[in-house]
Amino acid sequence: MANIVEEIKKPINAEMKLFEQKFYESMQSNVALLDKVTRFIVTTKGKQMRPMFVFLCAKLVGDVNEKTFRGASMIELIHTATLVHDDVVDESFKRRNFFSINALWKNKIAVLVGDYLLSKAVLLSTDHQDYDLLSVISRTIREMAEGELLQLEKARKLDITEDVYYEIIRQKTATLIAACSEIGVLSTSGDISLAKKMMEFGTYTGMAFQIKDDLFDYLTTTIIGKPVGIDIKEQKMTLPLIHALKIANEKDRKYYFTTIKRYNNDQKRVKELIAFVKTSGGLDYAVDKMTEYQQKAKNILAEFPDSEAKNSLELMLDYVIERKF
């Protein structure tokens, strides 16, 4: 899988190296504590898939420029801020096998660091009068918050339909990948219709990405950063479970709803529920939907002329549904 990521990065290797420096600069502050935390963020960074989307979508339609680098930094600032806030909300003390910021510096500092990163993303656009990018990131921040709150609201009632699930993952996950694609195009082309088309591409890619993430909860081995059954324990209704309950008979539906509602920390009952979802075809159904979204994204890419950037985006789409974590 690491080889695939290196292959994807080939057309943008130089940009990604320069981006690391620019991203660190975009976080810098006069407050020593903040600088200490942001240095930690840079040293524990992930694969930086989202900035890769920005650069590849920019190269698909034009040439990477300073506005592209600012756009990629804005996206990574927002993404990092949401991870910091998520760890506080989820009371999680590990992130990518490192201690999380809230584990090292406590919740109060973690929340303020997240707020700081969001403000830097907004300032980066206003300082350079990138108002088209500001519009995209403002919408993205709003939608991500709405998606998380909608999921929390529904987790309390356990009344998530398939349509509501799609809306949650569109806002919670797909909206940021859509923003990457849209910002990439806006930074190198003034074509609004092209930017909207690539926003759709990013939405479909993000939907496939999140369904894949939700499938990990039903795998037989522990996945890095996501123990099996964790969504069930947190009473998150994901697509495999929603489908299995939808087609179940009344007796099974009641029994497994009770498992989610009252026995979500009972290891035996959770294992039983995972087995029920598998035998009901919940995983196969989710895989089919994930592949449908991937194909919709591929259909949009097919409209563009062949290029290295297009090849990398196609590879990225395969990676999204084939990754192991």
Where do we find the tokens 């502050």? Answer: 29
Residues 38 and 29: beta-carbon distance below 8 Å: yes
Residue 110 above 80 pLDDT?
A: no
* In the predicted structure, residue 1 carries a pLDDT above the cut 60: no
CATH architecture for residues 2-322: Orthogonal Bundle (1.10)
pLDDT of 44 strictly over 80: no
- Domain ranges for the chain, please list them: 2-322
**What pLDDT, on a 0 to 100 scale, did the predictor assign at position 294?**
96
pLDDT band at 181 (very low <50, low <70, confident <90, very high): very high
Q: How far apart are CA 299 and CA 15, in angstroms?
A: 27
Between 157 and 78, where is the model more confident?
A: 78
Whether the pLDDT of residue 90 is over 70: the answer is no
**Chain-wide mean pLDDT for the chain?**
86
Taking only the tens place, the pLDDT of each residue in 203-259 is 999 999 999 989 988 875 544 445 566 778 877 889 999 999 999 999 998 998 888
Lowest mean pLDDT among 103-112, 138-147, 198-207: 103-112
For the ranges 15-24, 111-120, 261-270, 301-310, the maximum mean pLDDT occurs at 301-310
Amino acid at 52: M
Judge contact between 162 and 246, C-beta under 8 A. yes
- The pLDDT of 319-325, averaged and rounded, is 80
Q: What is the spatial distance between Cα 19 and Cα 235, in angstroms, rounded to a whole number?
A: 38
CA atoms of 185 and 56, how far apart (whole Å)? 9
Q: Going along the chain, which residue ranges are E strands?
A: 94-95, 98-99
Per-residue confidence (pLDDT) for residue 80, from 0 to 100: 85
- Least Cα distance to 309 among 186, 175, 184, 212 occurs for 184
